[in-house]
Structure 1
């Protein structure tokens, strides 16, 4: 390989055929709406196990009327585009089509399709439930994906822009009959890079009428993530008002407590610490495990507890740490 190839990387690649942000941004609306896969430059990028040209066939099968084949195609797309928690450039090219398939395709596959979209546009965060990372989306600028040498954050930026361009497809899904779809729709919407007042307003409106506990927490975390990413200085007070209000449902207070810890830099107030470590909050471990942010912290059902433990004990000297749950560890 020419030694000069890497000179000026990655800045010299900006806007070139190697920049997935440019490739995704150049896909016309009519190509997306018409599923005209042959007009998309899949060949420029590989997936984790092979050439990008394989992705359109899987997308077409996912959108087909064959339920079993569609399910297999979705599982293969997960394997190809989200290996070990990571994302890859060709996945961003798939996002506009995945959004359309999720909106109009098989209802039983909608939630998992939306979840894949969200993970394509988010940094690898499995196991990290810290105040700094739970709502983080961007990746380190120089982190690269080995098979394409494309900065991972370029993929995330491209996927997030694709989500923003198609908010009109996502917003109606906040009212889907399936709570899991509503929850994951909030997860995807939290990645928006524009139309922020529109997205946040839709999330707030849904929160005011939502009656499912896990969806409520997903909506709160989505609102907080948008606020954190776009430096909304009013958000910490909003979250504080929610968690400190004893008239709110317990899951709303717990979700808002997590949101506040991610939005603020102050130590956790004693009142918040008491709320989150109250033994009664253990009953919400299973109930809130489906919240997408918590699922990725711990797939084995301890997402909420892991977040609370990490957020409340970070930067405290080990010699003064007490059991934040006030009791014996669970088996």
Structure 2
């Protein structure tokens, strides 16, 4: 992807490392939050990609080319989403955040052949350092409020591998998703189960809790697919993790206590509830996990992006969450990056 030290933003990153005040760069040419906010609807839907200064950010040209490939279908979608996902996985997500406003029109175009790929990729930069995280304290956690002071983002998230403030990237991506909530909400009713799941995953990062929380509950009332119901509960929990709402905490608790609910739903609700409370896990919850958290169910729930992100060392996400949340004192298994491929 080239040498990131040749990107213009490196001068800012170097200045920050030398003690410069982050706030002095807020709103400037290297503030991805300001640039994303300035991308008008007619720009993102018209796809004049060169109107955006991709080159201001590490690997920006790679991100631009990935968006172009998704839009035109010039190369396999997996390659393009792999580039964007790779930037986030490598903790260099500023340019991926800049791509979010352009991914949304692709994702919401019911006739576009790569809509599912775009939707699956667009919320990755809106979450920081979440891969392999499965503890009560960190799963579903958002640290960044787009309205907060620039230094708060810096302190909460620190810097990306390039030295760029990670909180700015996360805030920019979340703001882009929040601005397009009305466009994304209809995807919760899409005929394709994967689209509904990924729409919930994306909307869970929006900084408008009341609107999306209501949408999740409304869709849950009519949703028949157990995995989508589980996704809606995890999305509601993630939104509530960022914006406390006691009635939702109680509502989610009721879902794991309800024996008429499908196992996927009860497990998702139990995990969501554990992330929303400091209460010790009651004995009844331990029994619920013992009865339902099987290897078979864990593999079925791998279809949920929260569980995919929580997985690690060949351990499925559901089982990793159960272990980390109920038995945090247990040592981590050997971290073998190739285990999942064996």
Given the two structures, how large is their TM-score scaled by the length of structure 2? Answer: 0.82
Q: Distance in 1 between matches of 2:274 and 2:43?
A: 42
Distance change in 2, residues 1:105/1:40 (3 Å):
farther
User: CA offsets, 1:121-180, max 9 Å, x none?
Assistant: 101122111111110133753521243x32101100000000000112211111222211
1:307 pairs with 2:328:
no
Among 161, 168, 193, the residue aligned to 2:207:
193
Decide whether the 8 Å contact of 2:234 with 2:269 is kept in 1: yes
1:233 pairs with 2:267:
no
Q: Distance in 2 between matches of 1:102 and 1:301?
A: 30
Instruction: Name the structure 1 match of 2:66.
Output: 58
Aligned residue pairs, count: 309
Decide whether the 8 Å contact of 1:221 with 1:255 is kept in 2: yes
1:170 pairs with 2:184:
yes
How far off its partner does 1:23 sit? 1.2
Q: Distance in 1 between matches of 2:64 and 2:15?
A: 34
Instruction: Name the structure 1 match of 2:81.
Output: 74
Instruction: Name the structure 2 match of 1:128.
Output: 133
Alignment gaps of 5+ in structure 1: 319-330
How far off its partner does 1:280 sit? 6.6
How far off its partner does 1:11 sit? 2.3
Decide whether the 8 Å contact of 2:267 with 2:289 is kept in 1: yes
1:90 pairs with 2:95:
yes
Partner-residue secondary structure (3-state), 2:211 = helix
Among 254, 267, 274, the residue aligned to 1:261:
274
Instruction: Name the structure 2 match of 1:118.
Output: 123
Among 160, 164, 178, the residue aligned to 2:174:
160
User: CA offsets, 1:82-114, max 9 Å, x none?
Assistant: 234x34111111001011111117666333322
User: CA offsets, 1:52-101, max 9 Å, x none?
Assistant: 134333322211255x444433333333x3234x3411111100101111
Decide whether the 8 Å contact of 1:19 with 1:150 is kept in 2: no
How far off its partner does 1:236 sit? 1.9
Instruction: Name the structure 1 match of 2:150.
Output: none
Distance change in 2, residues 1:109/1:213 (3 Å):
farther
How far off its partner does 1:231 sit? 1.3
Alignment gaps of 5+ in structure 2: 1-10, 145-154, 331-341
Partner-residue secondary structure (3-state), 1:12 = helix
How far off its partner does 1:266 sit? 0.4
Partner-residue secondary structure (3-state), 2:50 = helix
Given the two structures, how large is their TM-score scaled by the length of structure 1? Answer: 0.85
Instruction: Name the structure 1 match of 2:4.
Output: none
User: CA offsets, 1:203-244, max 9 Å, x none?
Assistant: 111112222222211110100111110111222211111111
Decide whether the 8 Å contact of 1:62 with 1:71 is kept in 2: no
Decide whether the 8 Å contact of 2:81 with 2:121 is kept in 1: no
**1:241-260 → structure 2 map (5 Å cutoff):** 241-260=254-273
Among 273, 279, 284, the residue aligned to 1:271:
284
Instruction: Name the structure 1 match of 2:159.
Output: 144
* 108-117 vs 180-189, which moves further: 108-117
Partner-residue secondary structure (3-state), 2:123 = helix
Instruction: Name the structure 2 match of 1:321.
Output: none
How far off its partner does 1:41 sit? 1.7
Decide whether the 8 Å contact of 1:123 with 1:136 is kept in 2: no
Partner-residue secondary structure (3-state), 1:144 = coil
